[in-house]
Structure 1
Amino acid sequence: MSFQAYIDNIKAKTGKTPDDFKKLAEEKGFLQNGQLVKTVKATEITNWLKEEFELGYGHAMAVYATFKGKTE
């Protein structure tokens, strides 16, 4: 599955775009000024996405990748 397919599937399931997730992650304290907080582990973010949005591990990692700057 391509990265874009992951993003498309996430939007179809949750109604949220990567930018929406970034805003929510800022509110949770995972991001600050659009950048990952150095003390935050990927597992914290993926657990949050799995619990709150019922994303699978691969989809949660795709959202995390967008936090790190991946766009394709």
Structure 2
Amino acid sequence: MSFQAYLDAAEVKTGRTPQEIVDLAHAEGFGADTKTGPILEWLKTELDLGRGHGMALVHVIKNGAGISDKHVGTTGTHRDESAVLRLDGIASRDTPT
């Protein structure tokens, strides 16, 4: 599953866009210097998210929307369309620009 697919699935499960989850995490004091474990625990406790969804969110909480381009444009199951993740929600992609 790609980073974006994990973020989209977390949005479907929680009803919150990835950006809303990132904003909540930052309001809790989580950021670039926070260890992964406490963020995963918080995501599980507050949003009932497991490790897979949690690790994708940990990345954006700590590092922002940019990801390595090593899977961009490949044909594997972890392929992402872009090296920049969409945090604005699934509905935003369905809205004409």
Asked whether the two chains share a fold, i.e. TM above 0.5, the reply is yes
Q: Which runs of 5+ in 2 are unaligned?
A: 67-83, 86-97
Which among 41, 49, 64 is matched to residue 55 of structure 1? 49
Asked if 1:24 corresponds to 2:18, the answer is no
> Could you tell me how far apart the structure 1 residues matched to 2:27 and 2:3 are?
25
> Could you tell me how far apart the structure 2 residues matched to 1:30 and 1:11 are?
19
Give me the CA root mean square deviation.
1.3
One-letter amino acid of the structure 1 residue matched with residue 3 of structure 2:
F
Residues 4-63 of structure 1, C-alpha deviation per residue, up to 9 Å, x if partnerless? 1111110100011221012111211113xxxx2x2x211100110011111110100110
Asked if 1:8 corresponds to 2:8, the answer is yes
- For residue 55 of structure 1, give the secondary structure of its aligned residue in structure 2: coil
> Could you tell me how far apart the structure 2 residues matched to 1:46 and 1:17 are?
17
> Could you tell me how far apart the structure 2 residues matched to 1:21 and 1:60 are?
11
- For residue 59 of structure 1, give the secondary structure of its aligned residue in structure 2: helix
| Corresponding pairs, count | 66
Q: Larger strand proportion, structure 1 or 2?
A: 1
Q: Larger helix proportion, structure 1 or 2?
A: 1
> Could you tell me how far apart the structure 1 residues matched to 2:24 and 2:42 are?
11
Q: Which runs of 5+ in 1 are unaligned?
A: none
State the TM-score, normalized to the length of structure 1. 0.79
Based on CA coordinates, which of the two structures has the bigger radius of gyration?
Answer: 2
